[in-house]
Structure 1
Amino acid sequence: MNTPEATPPQRLRTLPSRLANHAALTANRIVDHALAQGGVRRYHYALLATLEEFGPASQAALGRRTGIDRSDVVATVNDLAERHLLQRTPDPEDRRRNVITITAAGREQLAHLDRLLAAAQDDFLAPLTPADRRTLIGLLTRLADHHDNRHDGRNG
């Protein structure tokens, strides 16, 4: 509950970067809780979703596509392989690397996680109308795309 002592100054309450950070922290907490109900963390979900959408990939390609550090990809792949949610096989073109493929059990787990995350998104966006949600997603996408393009050299 906000008390007068807990109310930040007006200039902080209206800084877009501060508001975005506060919303992101709240969203992260809600999403982490939802994923924990499925027995996973964000990296697990990211790898499963990437494999399901784009098909088999090397660990290096998974890291590039998800932005997850190589050592974290290896640890997450190991964990998911132990759970039989993905399969690791030697690449027929280069025996030094593995090809990672989502399994049927991995697809089932991903569908379950998608349902948990849909509920988490509804919880996070609860005060917004459907139109407001679409607007927010559009604005956040524009911001993310703009800054991704600036930082990867494609746009200035």
Structure 2
Amino acid sequence: MPRTERLRALAHIESLPSWLAGRVAARGRDLVAGAIAGEGLKLPQHAVLAAVAEHGPVAQADLVRRLGFDPKDVVLLVNHLETAGLAVRAPDPGDRRKNAVTVTPAGLETLRRCAELADRANAELLAPLSAEEGRQLMELLRRVHEA
């Protein structure tokens, strides 16, 4: 393939909405991951903690279904949260054969701080846009996501 065609092929890929959205998403994930790292959390741990806070007490199997994570990964993620004092496992009140995960007060405080940090990281991501452009982008992303 001649060099000019190769260059155009790369330019074509880089002009695709899927490519651009993926690059922006990767930058956003990196910014948020860096922001919450000081809280001792990685993105999947943060997601599990948020799901536990919103839906808990919740069985690990329900976390797997809600988040689409591998069951073995959820066990490890909950282990981390429990070791850090952010969540606890206890017998499920609805089915004593299962354990349910509940967020602790320290976990709720960590989530509050993480929300502030994530907001700041996302503000940095959208900094090249005006406030109105940021709102427009969010609306367009929601429409594409919900389609």
The TM-score, its normalising length taken from structure 2, stands at 0.86
Q: Does residue 11 of structure 1 match 2:9?
A: no
Counterparts of 2:69 and 2:98 in 1: how far apart (Å)?
Answer: 18
Segments of structure 2 that go 5 or more residues without pairing to the other structure are 1-6
Report what 2:73 is aligned to. 72
Secondary structure of the corresponding residue to residue 97 of structure 1: strand
Q: Post-superposition shift, 1:142?
A: 2.0
Report what 1:62 is aligned to. 63
Q: Post-superposition shift, 1:30?
A: 1.1
Counterparts of 1:96 and 1:25 in 2: how far apart (Å)?
Answer: 40
Q: How many residues align?
A: 141
Segments of structure 1 that go 5 or more residues without pairing to the other structure are 1-5, 147-156
Among the aligned pairs, what percent are the same residue?
39
Q: Does residue 123 of structure 1 match 2:124?
A: yes
Secondary structure of the corresponding residue to residue 123 of structure 1: helix
Report what 1:154 is aligned to. none
The TM-score, its normalising length taken from structure 1, stands at 0.81
Secondary structure of the corresponding residue to residue 44 of structure 1: helix
Secondary structure of the corresponding residue to residue 85 of structure 2: coil
For the aligned residue pairs, the C-alpha RMSD in angstroms reads: 2.0
Structure 1: which amino acid aligns with 2:90? T
Report what 1:23 is aligned to. 24
Counterparts of 2:22 and 2:94 in 1: how far apart (Å)?
Answer: 44
